[in-house]
A and B are shown apart, each in its own frame.
Chain A
């Protein structure tokens, strides 16, 4: 029995590790290699090895794109948190038979491809789209709002697509929160605000952080949402990398951008990891 348990354990761990090595570590190693390659009109990648790609990154345009992406991803994360936290809190504390139904409603959008849902947002946001039609019909506005192809539409698309990734970890975390701790805080003289700030918020911090990571990372790199909803004006980091690979055919530069981006995220994660105690690491 014991030996059998172990073989299953090694098998499942081994499969996942193999999978990650083949499809994550290996590609990343290849990308890293490519970032040191040169390219010319006939070759995507060629010798000699060079650091030129990295020097090229020190360019005002790229820095601006990075800053812009960082700004949009952070704003998106904050909006998702502000929208998602009260929502997750309400559902998690709910003692109703509709609770599981409400949780199901968060999952349902995943049944349709995110790309298709983003296309459908164009129908909603375009000048003669559903939102503008309703606003015109009710007389709230008298000419269509330029919703589509702006930073606003990119933000709406990002928040819409990524909100579940904020809500789900929060839900799990808040559900685990012990009601009796809240009672204890109230009993000791804490009003609702103090109870939230001193007890609920610190204890749900692991959920907030995992939700934020799950929203922030895709928001930086997801390229089809700025592509479809932002028009030609929004170029974010994801688009930049995509352009270098698919349009400019400059694989070494695209790789260098990816590597730098990955390193920055890795540093951020490390800083965050070190700022947590052991206990919070376990909860994550």
Chain B
């Protein structure tokens, strides 16, 4: 018995000759909070429907708890879904909605009562048990949808963009509640979202999807700090991209040519001399200095401030470099920077600490 609650082997899906998913391989570990992250239309919802049994893969196999579920209809799979629209039954009360799954499985009445009440309490809806869904707010409906699924103690809970219709503040609260609930219940969550911030803050592991393929699987830190390719890097967070090529190599130390200057950078990937690469620097890693603050301009690139965006905790700068490339820099107020005041048109120096960049093989775009 492996530790994988769900396994996908070579799963593809084609609908009306249109490729939706291509040769996916994925292992979902028991008890983890896994997020499928990707732009709309990348196939994440289809993948969820394959697992829940509403669609069958065109090729490949899906294993749930070690068992091939080929041809098994949704009601016989021990996974449950929290739908994007919640899909609460409008003619039933909160209690009846939550009890639905248990009643379908012929659970004894006394047990239904205690289990439903317990779950309703967990999601803090005791007062609303006898209400109909249309008498509840969006956040409450969301909780009912989650309660209705988890009360059946599924092996895996599938959540299809469950927070997307909530307002920003409520979404933040629900993110924390969901994460706490998942820890408490110990159920594997597969959470679908197109919101990278949501994915990073909630997940144990993130699966980055793009146009029907899995681009990278890793912890939030891995996908953010060590993206496998340009697609992942661009989708998760912002990135300043410098095109360059390897001039010399010494173990992990690479010498590259950026904007006409030689610079030593670090990477654990293998490259060859002369290979074209992309050097990625996150905006928060890019340092911008006023000309008066700089004595030694080694490894620094001159530019002018083009835009200053005040965001409360940070100031975002857009800097036009000498080669006309526009780069973004985020400055935090907690730094020992005395003023953090920039004026549009100011000449500045931009740089970053070597080793904080990401080097990727060149991709023709």
Binding site for B on A (CB under 8 A): 178, 180-181, 183-191, 194, 198-199, 202-203, 279
Contacts and interface: CB of A to CB of B under 8 A. Distances in A.
Given A187-B74, A188-B148, 17 more contacts: A180-B83, A181-B87, A181-B90, A183-B81, A183-B87, A186-B54, A187-B52, A187-B149, A188-B80, A189-B105, A190-B75, A190-B100, A190-B104, A191-B75, A191-B104, A198-B100, A203-B91
B91 A186 contact: no
A134 B118 CA distance: 67
Contacts of B262: none
B85 A188 contact: no
Given A184-B81, A187-B52, A188-B101, A202 B91 contact: yes
B187 to A, nearest CB: 15
A189 B75 contact: yes
B152 interface: yes
A188 B105 CA distance: 9
Interface in B104-151: 104-105, 132, 134, 148-149
A126 B361 CA distance: 86
Interface in B74-92: 74-76, 80-81, 83, 85, 87-91
15 contacts: A180-B83, A180-B85, A180-B87, A181-B87, A183-B83, A187-B80, A188-B75, A188-B100, A188-B101, A188-B148, A188-B149, A188-B152, A189-B75, A189-B76, A189-B152
Contacts of B85: 178, 180
Give the 9 A-B CB pairs with smallest separation, nearest first.
A188-B101, A184-B87, A189-B104, A180-B87, A186-B74, A190-B104, A187-B81, A189-B75, A202-B91
Contacts of A191: 75, 104
Nearest to B132: A279
Contact of B89 (A184, A186, A189): A184
Nearest to A195: B75
Contacts of A189: 75-76, 101, 104-105, 152
User: For B83, B90, B104, B105, which residue has the most chain A Cβ atoms within 10 angstroms?
Assistant: B104
Nearest to A191: B75
Contacts of A203: 90-91
A185 B363 CA distance: 46
Contacts of A186: 54, 73-75
Given A186-B74, A188-B152, A199 B104 contact: no
Contacts of B75: 186-191
B156 to A, nearest CB: 12
A172 to B, nearest CB: 17
Interface string B147-171: 0110010000000000000000000
Interface residues of B, number: 24
A20 B148 CA distance: 49
B91 A184 contact: no
A256 B74 CA distance: 59
B152 A178 contact: no
Contacts of A279: 90-91, 132, 134
B149 A183 contact: no
Contacts of A180: 83, 85, 87
User: For A189, A194, A203, A279, which residue has the most chain B Cβ atoms within 10 angstroms?
Assistant: A189
B89 A183 contact: no
A104 to B, nearest CB: 27
Contacts of B87: 178, 180-181, 183-184
Contacts of B91: 202-203, 279
Contacts of B83: 180, 183-184
B153 to A, nearest CB: 12
Contacts of B74: 183, 186-187
A183 B105 contact: no
Interface in B190-207: none
A187 B54 CA distance: 8
Contacts of A183: 54, 74, 81, 83, 87
B73 A199 contact: no
Nearest to A181: B87
Interface in B47-98: 52, 54, 73-76, 80-81, 83, 85, 87-91
A279 B92 CA distance: 12
Contacts of A194: 104
A279 B149 CA distance: 26
A202 B54 CA distance: 23
A21 B89 CA distance: 41
A202 B52 CA distance: 25
B346 to A, nearest CB: 53
Contacts of B134: 279
A191 B106 CA distance: 12
Contacts of B73: 186
Interface in B251-284: none
Contacts of A188: 75, 80, 100-101, 104, 148-149, 152
A28 B210 CA distance: 70
Contacts of B90: 181, 203, 279
A190 B148 CA distance: 13
A181 B134 CA distance: 14
A199 B80 contact: no
A194 B105 CA distance: 11
A160 to B, nearest CB: 33
A198 B99 CA distance: 12
A235 B165 CA distance: 61
